[in-house]
Amino acid sequence: MYDRNVCEAHALRVREHILAMSTDGGCFTGASLSCADLLVYLYTSYLNVRPDNLSDPDRDILLLSKGHDVPALYGTFAELGILEPGRLANHLDCNDHIYWHPNRAVPGVEFHSGSLGHLLSVGMGMALSIHLEQRQSRVVVILGDGELNEGSIWEACQVAHSLHLDNLLAIVDRNWFQANMPTEELSPLEPLDEKFRAFGWNVLRVDGHDFDALHSVLPDLPLRNGAPTVLIADTMRGKGVPSIEARADRWFCNFSHDEVRQLTEELHGTSSATLVSPTLTVR
């Protein structure tokens, strides 16, 4: 059911949602924009998850371990009818469940996150259970590259290999930034492929913004060869909005309404002036 045009249309809308959530308290805009294409591809073309099967034990599972990109997930849910789109306007309203990290109380969210380095092991428990249930569902865990600083990720990698969890697919949103600076300046990750390979994982690498490229590898993943698989998706922080792209200082953003309007025009290519706003919150 893969259709590149459909993916691109959804991705544009998801990015609009992300920008809309980047005001009135803001959100992790840069990290959300980098994985928007990944999530759109996965939910439209890979996972067997639909609004009407969210409790089907045979559904695939996606866990957002780098939880601060949740605007991309909720935006995708809104586009695909998993989440009522009007609820996005409740972002940061205590009366709804929509805050800066995934919340299990929101339809479609399989497990909450926030603290980094947790959901690979949670996903492994689900993958093990699914294996024992003799189901074919796949478990996909989205990891941030900055998140790979956490020792628990590598501990989990070791255990996943020992348990032969070949229904497990980790996808690294490799946007080359962590909170405040480029990953390679703080705690270099490369050669990342070799690191995962040394842990016994299958490793593939792909352009995380190229739908055709994603579609050329993902349908065959995870490789069912007795080892877990990781797909390193090279992406760009802030992808799609030049004023935000690949900037260390555009991780958490809380823009004014006017700025969001300008950024949305940038997204649509109708404004080429880049935003020089100093209204940045770097945590």
Partner 1 sequence: MNRYELLLRDRCAIDPRIMVLTAENRGHMRSVPPLLGDRFVDVGIAEQTMIGMAAGLAARGRVVVVHALAAFLTLRAFEFIRDDVAIPNLPVIMVGMVPGVLSDGNGPTHQAIDDVGLMRAMPNVGVFCPADEEEYVEGMAELFDNPRPCYVRYIGSQAAYRREHRTTLQRGIVLSDDRECCPDVALLTYGAMVPHVLEAVQQLEQTGVSVRVVHLPMIDPLDETVIIEALHDAAVTVVVEDHLIRSGLYSVVCEIAIRHRIHASLHPIGLSTWFAAGRLPQVLRMNGLDGASIAHRVTEILNDEATIQRTSNGESHAS
129 binds partner 1 (CB under 8 A): yes
116 binds partner 1 (CB under 8 A): no
String of contacts with partner 1 for each residue 43-72, x by CB under 8 A: --------------x---------------
Token couple for 47 = 């996972």
Least distance from partner 1 to the Cβ atom of residue 99, Å: 13
110 binds partner 1 (CB under 8 A): yes
Nearest to 244 by CA among 212, 215, 266: 266
Token couple for 82 = 């998993």
226 binds partner 1 (CB under 8 A): no
Nearest to 252 by CA among 26, 17, 23: 26
Return the number of other C-beta atoms located less than 10 Å from residue 86's C-beta.
8
Dihedral angle sign, alpha carbons of residues 181, 88, 114, 72:
negative
From residue 115, how far is each of 64, 101, 147 by CA, in Å? 11, 9, 9
Q: Backbone phi, then psi, for 125, in 5-degree steps? A: -60, -40
Least distance from partner 1 to the Cβ atom of residue 201, Å: 15
Per CB under 8 A, the segment of 42-50, 149-157, 198-206, 236-244 that binds partner 1 is 149-157
132 binds partner 1 (CB under 8 A): yes
* The only residue of 40, 120, 140, 171 in contact with partner 1, by rule CB under 8 A: 120
Given a contact cutoff of 8 angstroms between Cβ atoms, the answer to whether 65 and 142 are in contact is: yes
Least distance from partner 1 to the Cβ atom of residue 138, Å: 14
Binding interface with partner 1 (CB under 8 A): 57, 104, 110-112, 114-115, 117-130, 132-133, 152, 155-156, 158-159, 162-163
